[in-house]
Chains A and B, each alone.
Chain A
């Protein structure tokens, strides 16, 4: 199987958690909806295009910024200072699986961008370090005497979570439908699994460069 692999870098990022109003807390990695949103903007898509993605990455540290935020009130726009949690020096690896045509369009789109890309807040710019096609294969766990150590923090949908692997639960936005003018999100339950955990009893997907892959939707 051939998929598209993107390596991205952000100096700062805040992948805001829904309902974090008083303080803007951030997810440790961008939720699927955020990444999907960026890909759709690259594609200039008017409607949802079917694809699955795998998200992993790490960051150097976390800090907070005290910053003025603008709000809508019924009749006016107001502002007040809030604490924003920010990740610093974020490296991301995104795998995208879709119809070959779509993947080619994404590559084309990236090469011909009209505007800079961002993930999370508009001001958190994305630097694209690498775009390439990679081969994916399934690894038979029985071939490995010591299992497979997870090197890079990754979202794993709970249905695919390997035995005895521990992670922090998140309920991530994936895609939405507009019902009565409101966005109704489809959610995916995942574990954010940090590096050091070991896959011992389950087969897994890996690309030709040795990076793990856990797609957000079934193959």
Chain B
């Protein structure tokens, strides 16, 4: 028998048949979206022949050795990957395909594993003559597919020069290669390539709204009516954007992206539990943890499905799905999926300009390959719209920009010409009888304020601190705590946080005290105060501090901060309407206002980079790194590490793979990601196999698990500039 896999043992025919079934499945489910006969034809051929090269004796022997079978004789033992050999066996002259299609086929198969190995035609010739020719007979008896009678190296000339973006059959190639990746990966994991095709999230959403006696709002009606178009929706918070997006997605496969992991988790829960739509996947780097911790029984399955992109509706951070503009080796897998999917980009203003450039480039590519997108945002810099317009992606007929603005007035603001720490007493006073949220720009400022307040708190009921420098476990507890706090009408007190809470956590406080950031970020912060209520007081409910502000020039662009200050100053002691906000941000991010600022330079630099990327130049990990943009290290604070020695020892001694994975997840809950430059010189390596990427942070850590309160990591003065 010719083997294809060793774990579990699987014959070549069995494996190929599995792929063919998945191919049929995909075609049945999505050929209405991918209406392209020649693509389906080429894909089927690719599926049938992709692994035939595994017949090469040295490959067979790798498997035979693992499963304890007698080894075959190897006439030649060059280390040439099977995917470079598979195309030799295709009976090209019987397929009725042209030369371009032949090239697509050969490269889709030849690169279905991406390797750095060079293609050495002389070695391939020797392998064909001395080894492969002898196996034609056995292939013919074992497989149901037609094998060429005479095989040679001619195909290699079509393999060497890779198809790139400017080839005119590029999109056909992306589809064939990308879908082959999908089918191969899910078949290898014994999973279906696509599931739940007919579970319509739009219907579920409508049903849910009906049961709650919600009537459709303007925005939702609009989304429902424009399901077939690309949309940009500018709308303020609390106006039903999420439901609108779900109605727009309707019965299509979709990817829903958000900037922050916490908000993705929250949305995932909402769609699953409230709306009752359980055909959802979760794609972000710690999603496995979340699913496990939240008690979803079939977490492993959900995760695997998501990993294979098979879920009908996927919630994701952008680094998981929108990294294909980097055209790293293997990017076709996600890009091809986009051709029959819809993509929702929520809160685009929350990304740095360089990341926004990647997203916009991604949308351009999605548009070109036939997918659809929706941008939902509270504010959209004009330069982003200009980009979409200039690239011809926005056309009157297929894209609508609409502003859905609530007429409710929710805030009256006070712009203070002083630093936030000068008003500690006032904050404490308010915190005694109401819910107060303080949002500052850096972790060290948050800790500073926390210390001040603790020292003078008096009769204050509660005081909490939440920022990004807590280990995962504690941060999750704090996030739950802040939600509970906000919900409980009787609780009064103060939460001190960073912009961490801007877009992610659905909470409603009575007063907001904040350092000024940029306007878009500021207005997000406003959303944490009087979230849905109408403003009903005389005194302001929002206090903005403009002096000695932290994080300017590092977290926030200096020019944009200055411009923001000039604009917001005019609204001192005034009520702020949604229209005012949108107008201000629009002006702030218009081309004229931003001219020659770092913001525009960064955006344009990133675009130039993306436009000139050479296909296959970088690998997927590197692309992901650029997207995350933060060079961070995963660390366990020393104190915590010393306390989990039992867990570490268990991990060291565990032999069972699944159990080991489970222990590792427990250890990961004790870690926190911090920027590399912050960790420098303070980290000791963990010299345990499987935990090499974790460091021990030699700094103090403070958290009281009973009171759910503490300062987190204390890096002393060097604590600035971390979210």
The judgment on whether A and B are partners is: yes
Q: How far is the CB of A47 from chain B (nearest CB, A)?
A: 43
Q: State whether A147 touches B161 (Cβ < 8 A).
A: no
The closest CB in chain A to the CB of B148 belongs to A145
Q: How far is the CA of A165 from the CA of B154 in the complex (A)?
A: 12
Q: State whether A145 touches B152 (Cβ < 8 A).
A: yes
- Which residue in A144, A145, A201 is a CB contact (below 8 Å) of B99? A201
The closest CB in chain B to the CB of A148 belongs to B154
Q: State whether B152 touches A163 (Cβ < 8 A).
A: no
Q: Does A43 contact B (CB under 8 A)?
A: no
Q: Does A129 contact B (CB under 8 A)?
A: no
Given A145-B151, A147-B152, A163-B99, do A200 and B158 touch, yes or no (CB 8 Å)?
yes
Residues of chain A within 8 A (CB-CB) of B161 are 164, 166
Given A146-B125, A198-B121, A201-B99, do A164 and B158 touch, yes or no (CB 8 Å)?
yes
Residues of chain B within 8 A (CB-CB) of A200 are 154-158
Q: State whether A147 touches B150 (Cβ < 8 A).
A: no
Q: How far is the CA of A198 from the CA of B152 in the complex (A)?
A: 13
Interface string of A137-152 (1 = CB under 8 A from B): 0000010111100000
Residues of chain A within 8 A (CB-CB) of B155 are 200
Complex interface residues of chain A between 164 and 202 (CB less than 8 A to chain B): 164-166, 198, 200-201
Q: State whether B158 touches A144 (Cβ < 8 A).
A: no
Interface centre among B128, B153, B157, B161, by most A CB within 10 Å?
B157
Q: How far is the CB of B161 from chain A (nearest CB, A)?
A: 7
Q: How far is the CA of A142 from the CA of B92 in the complex (A)?
A: 11
Q: State whether A198 touches B151 (Cβ < 8 A).
A: no
- Which residue in A142, A147, A166 is a CB contact (below 8 Å) of B153? A147
- Which residue in B93, B154, B158 is a CB contact (below 8 Å) of A146? B154
Q: State whether A147 touches B157 (Cβ < 8 A).
A: yes
The closest CB in chain B to the CB of A145 belongs to B152
Interface string of B315-351 (1 = CB under 8 A from A): 0000000000000000000000000000000000000
Q: How far is the CA of A198 from the CA of B161 in the complex (A)?
A: 13
Q: How far is the CB of A196 from chain B (nearest CB, A)?
A: 9
Q: How far is the CA of A163 from the CA of B157 in the complex (A)?
A: 9
Q: State whether B152 touches A164 (Cβ < 8 A).
A: no
Q: State whether B99 touches A147 (Cβ < 8 A).
A: no
Residues of chain B within 8 A (CB-CB) of A145 are 150-154
Residues of chain B within 8 A (CB-CB) of A165 are 157
Given A163-B99, A198-B121, A201-B99, do A146 and B152 touch, yes or no (CB 8 Å)?
yes
Q: How far is the CA of A145 from the CA of B154 in the complex (A)?
A: 7
Q: How far is the CA of A55 from the CA of B158 in the complex (A)?
A: 27
Complex interface residues of chain B between 116 and 166 (CB less than 8 A to chain A): 121, 125, 128, 150-158, 160-161
Tally of A interface residues using CB under 8 Å: 12
Q: How far is the CA of A25 from the CA of B121 in the complex (A)?
A: 34
The closest CB in chain A to the CB of B153 belongs to A146
The closest CB in chain B to the CB of A199 belongs to B157
Interface string of B148-186 (1 = CB under 8 A from A): 001111111110110000000000000000000000000
Q: How far is the CA of A201 from the CA of B99 in the complex (A)?
A: 9
Q: How far is the CB of A193 from chain B (nearest CB, A)?
A: 13
Interface centre among A146, A200, A201, by most B CB within 10 Å?
A146
Q: How far is the CB of B449 from chain A (nearest CB, A)?
A: 66
Q: How far is the CA of A164 from the CA of B155 in the complex (A)?
A: 10
Residues of chain B within 8 A (CB-CB) of A198 are 121, 153-154, 156-157
Complex interface residues of chain A between 5 and 21 (CB less than 8 A to chain B): none
Q: How far is the CA of A41 from the CA of B161 in the complex (A)?
A: 44
Q: How far is the CA of A165 from the CA of B157 in the complex (A)?
A: 8
Residues of chain B within 8 A (CB-CB) of A146 are 125, 128, 152-154
Q: How far is the CA of A166 from the CA of B153 in the complex (A)?
A: 17
Q: How far is the CB of A71 from chain B (nearest CB, A)?
A: 43
Q: How far is the CB of A147 from chain B (nearest CB, A)?
A: 5
Residues of chain B within 8 A (CB-CB) of A166 are 161
Residues of chain B within 8 A (CB-CB) of A163 are 99, 157
Q: How far is the CA of A198 from the CA of B159 in the complex (A)?
A: 12
Residues of chain A within 8 A (CB-CB) of B154 are 144-147, 198, 200-201
Q: How far is the CA of A198 from the CA of B158 in the complex (A)?
A: 10
Q: How far is the CB of B96 from chain A (nearest CB, A)?
A: 16
Residues of chain B within 8 A (CB-CB) of A147 are 152-154, 157
Q: How far is the CA of A81 from the CA of B581 in the complex (A)?
A: 73
The closest CB in chain A to the CB of B88 belongs to A145
Residues of chain A within 8 A (CB-CB) of B152 are 144-147
The closest CB in chain A to the CB of B155 belongs to A200
Q: State whether A164 touches B153 (Cβ < 8 A).
A: no
Q: How far is the CA of A166 from the CA of B158 in the complex (A)?
A: 12
Q: How far is the CA of A145 from the CA of B89 in the complex (A)?
A: 12
Residues of chain A within 8 A (CB-CB) of B99 are 163, 201
Q: How far is the CA of A201 from the CA of B156 in the complex (A)?
A: 11
Residues of chain B within 8 A (CB-CB) of A142 are 93
Q: How far is the CB of B56 from chain A (nearest CB, A)?
A: 17
Complex interface residues of chain A between 34 and 52 (CB less than 8 A to chain B): none
Q: How far is the CA of A201 from the CA of B106 in the complex (A)?
A: 14
Complex interface residues of chain B between 648 and 688 (CB less than 8 A to chain A): none
Complex interface residues of chain B between 294 and 312 (CB less than 8 A to chain A): none
Q: How far is the CA of A142 from the CA of B148 in the complex (A)?
A: 13
Complex interface residues of chain A between 124 and 159 (CB less than 8 A to chain B): 142, 144-147
Q: How far is the CA of A163 from the CA of B158 in the complex (A)?
A: 9
Q: How far is the CB of B307 from chain A (nearest CB, A)?
A: 36
Q: State whether B125 touches A164 (Cβ < 8 A).
A: no
Residues of chain B within 8 A (CB-CB) of A164 are 157-158, 160-161
Residues of chain A within 8 A (CB-CB) of B156 are 198, 200
Q: How far is the CA of A164 from the CA of B153 in the complex (A)?
A: 13
Q: How far is the CB of B228 from chain A (nearest CB, A)?
A: 41
Residues of chain B within 8 A (CB-CB) of A201 are 99, 154, 157
Q: How far is the CB of A179 from chain B (nearest CB, A)?
A: 39
Q: How far is the CA of A142 from the CA of B93 in the complex (A)?
A: 10
The closest CB in chain A to the CB of B92 belongs to A201
The closest CB in chain B to the CB of A141 belongs to B154
Q: How far is the CA of A146 from the CA of B125 in the complex (A)?
A: 8
Q: How far is the CA of A44 from the CA of B152 in the complex (A)?
A: 50
Q: How far is the CA of A142 from the CA of B154 in the complex (A)?
A: 10
The closest CB in chain A to the CB of B152 belongs to A145
Q: How far is the CB of B432 from chain A (nearest CB, A)?
A: 79
Residues of chain A within 8 A (CB-CB) of B158 are 164, 200
Q: How far is the CB of B64 from chain A (nearest CB, A)?
A: 29
Residues of chain A within 8 A (CB-CB) of B160 are 164
Interface centre among A144, A145, A200, by most B CB within 10 Å?
A145
Residues of chain B within 8 A (CB-CB) of A144 are 152, 154
Interface centre among B153, B160, B161, by most A CB within 10 Å?
B153
Complex interface residues of chain B between 81 and 96 (CB less than 8 A to chain A): 93
Q: How far is the CA of A144 from the CA of B150 in the complex (A)?
A: 10
Q: How far is the CA of A63 from the CA of B155 in the complex (A)?
A: 38
Q: How far is the CA of A201 from the CA of B152 in the complex (A)?
A: 12
Q: How far is the CB of B702 from chain A (nearest CB, A)?
A: 65
The closest CB in chain B to the CB of A149 belongs to B121
Q: How far is the CB of A192 from chain B (nearest CB, A)?
A: 18
The closest CB in chain B to the CB of A164 belongs to B157
Residues of chain A within 8 A (CB-CB) of B121 are 198
Q: How far is the CB of B154 from chain A (nearest CB, A)?
A: 4
Q: How far is the CA of A71 from the CA of B155 in the complex (A)?
A: 53
Binding site for A on B (CB under 8 A): 93, 99, 121, 125, 128, 150-158, 160-161
> What would 20 A/B residue contacts be, using CB atoms closer than 8 Å?
A144-B152, A144-B154, A146-B125, A146-B128, A146-B153, A147-B152, A147-B153, A163-B99, A163-B157, A164-B157, A164-B158, A164-B160, A165-B157, A166-B161, A198-B121, A198-B153, A200-B155, A200-B156, A200-B157, A200-B158
Given contact pairs A144-B152, A146-B128, A201-B157, a sample of 19 additional A-B residue pairs in the complex whose CB atoms are under 8 Å apart: A145-B151, A145-B152, A145-B154, A146-B125, A146-B154, A147-B152, A147-B153, A147-B154, A147-B157, A163-B157, A164-B157, A164-B158, A164-B160, A164-B161, A166-B161, A198-B121, A200-B155, A201-B99, A201-B154
Q: Which 8 pairs show the lowest CB-CB distances between chains A and B?
A: A145-B152, A200-B154, A164-B157, A200-B157, A146-B152, A146-B153, A147-B154, A198-B157
